[in-house]
Amino acid sequence: MEPEHATLEQYVDMPELLARVCEDRELLMELLQLFQESFPRLRDALQLAAESGDANQIEKAAHALKGMFAGLSMKQASQLAAQVELAARADDLPQVHETMAKLIREEAGLLVAVESFVAGSMT
Amino acid sequence: MKILIADDELVSLRMLERTLERDGYEVVAVEDGRTAAERLCDPHGPRLALLDWMMPQLDGPAVCRAVRRKRSQRHVYVVLLTSKSSKEDIVEGLESGADDYLIKPFDPGELKARLRTGLRILELEDHLLEAREDMRYKATHDSLTSLLNRGTILELLSGEMNRIHRRKSPIAIVLGDIDHFKLVNDTHGHVAGDEVLRETGRRLLASVRSYDFIGRYGGEEFLAVLTNCGMDAAMKRAEDIRKAIGGSPFLTSQNPVSVTMSLGVFAGDTADYRSLEEILCEVDSALYAAKSAGRNCCRLAVPSNPR
């Protein structure tokens, strides 16, 4: 699936997320907008840590991303971030880079899906 | 109920905040561990907290340790809410002083149930502290007059004597006895007698300074400890008490009852005396002298055995 055709349901377990926000769609929109604002900072932090090769920083940045993804029921992204975190903890930098490549692809589609959903809900 | 939530990840923080507000909590949201610790260590701060593990400045377990070290008066119920999910993490989190541990992402039903558990524990603590305070009050106060009881007033007097002995400041002790109290009971009944004792307590309290101590010494005997009070001031205070008791009848549920009080006064430097018992003996003799002089008067103790 090309990212430009992505729907939120492909990346987010919507029934779980809606249950977590108690079906409050206004809150859901607010959280997705917060995600749009917060995500670039966390993604850049992971990118910078990966470039520096600092396993401790990679682990922390991946942990933060994992928490945000998990909170929003972004299952695949959360699992990939968890794998990066584990690889960093094991100081396995090749594995970190390999998993990060997958994560970056997942994130690209996820971002498009979120943007499309938020834009669609506003019109 | 006020609850503190701490998380540097804003999506989680907002989701938690809204979930808890919906459940009626008053939410205090912070984004770093140091602020969380400061708020929780404040004696008036929230007593319920949800903390993320990884936060800037102080992590969740460090916040728990800080809270357990600094705030002991009332328990703060702390739940660690984190995506760190290994057995080792859970053990480390609980060992740091957390009361409970929840794995992110949270389930709203489970979160509510866990917080209700916390609330139950805090309520239980409140009940226990109230019961302890109630027991402490009952153990130190006279149940009829609500004045300090004999044991407590003597303990306070002993402490005051040690203190003023160091500071060389004067102290006065006034022992008052209601005149012919048996007659009050016999004439107006024991209910009226009890009312007279209660009103006597009120009038005594109104006649002394806020930092003086008044206790019920015996049946119809009352002891006042007047700190930093010399002889002239002590005699004036005793006279004020005498007038406050005898100045107007006591309005009981039966009849107005006229009451008078005789008072013995000790005033001076306790360094001259060997023991509390000796001073009490002096003031008791002064009270006896007041009774012998016709009652409804004050007499100053004459040291019989100064050092």
Q: Is the pTM of this model over 0.80?
A: no
Tell me the angle at which helices A55-71 and A25-52 cross, rounded to the nearest 10 degrees. Answer: 170
Domain spans in chain B, listed from the N-terminal domain onward: 2-139, 150-300
Residue-level pLDDT at B162: 83
Residue-level pLDDT at B160: 87
Q: Do B11 and A20 make contact, defined as CB atoms within 8 angstroms?
A: no
- Give me the interface pTM, i.e. the ipTM: 0.87
The pLDDT tens digits for A11-47 are: 999 999 999 998 999 999 999 999 999 999 999 999 9
Out of B11, B18, B54, the one facing A38 most closely (by C-beta) is B11
Contacts of A37 in chain B (CB under 8 A): 10
**Regarding the domain with residue range B2-139, which homologous superfamily does it belong to in the CATH classification?**
Response regulator (3.40.50.2300)
The residues, any chain, with a CB within 8 Å of residue B25's CB and separated by 6 or more, are B1, B2, B3, B48, B115
**Class in CATH terms, B150-300:** alpha beta
**Quick check: A83 and A53 in contact, CB under 8 A?**
no
**Which is the catalytic residue, given B17, B160, B220, B282?**
B220
Q: What average pLDDT does the structure give for chain B?
A: 93
User: For residues B60 and B162, which has the higher predicted lDDT (pLDDT)?
Assistant: B60
Residue-level pLDDT at B34: 96
> Sign of torsion, CA A79 A84 A85 A86?
positive
The pLDDT tens digits for B183-239 are: 999 999 999 999 999 999 999 999 999 999 999 999 999 999 998 888 999 999 999
The share of chain A scoring above pLDDT 70, in percent, equals 95
| Domain annotation for chain A: domains and CATH numbers | 3-118 (1.20.120.160)
**Pick from A67-71, B150-154, B163-167, B244-248: least confident:** B163-167
The pLDDT tens digits for B79-138 are: 999 988 889 999 999 999 999 999 998 898 999 999 999 999 999 999 999 999 999 999
Task: Look at residue A8 and tell me whether its pLDDT is greater than 70.
Answer: yes
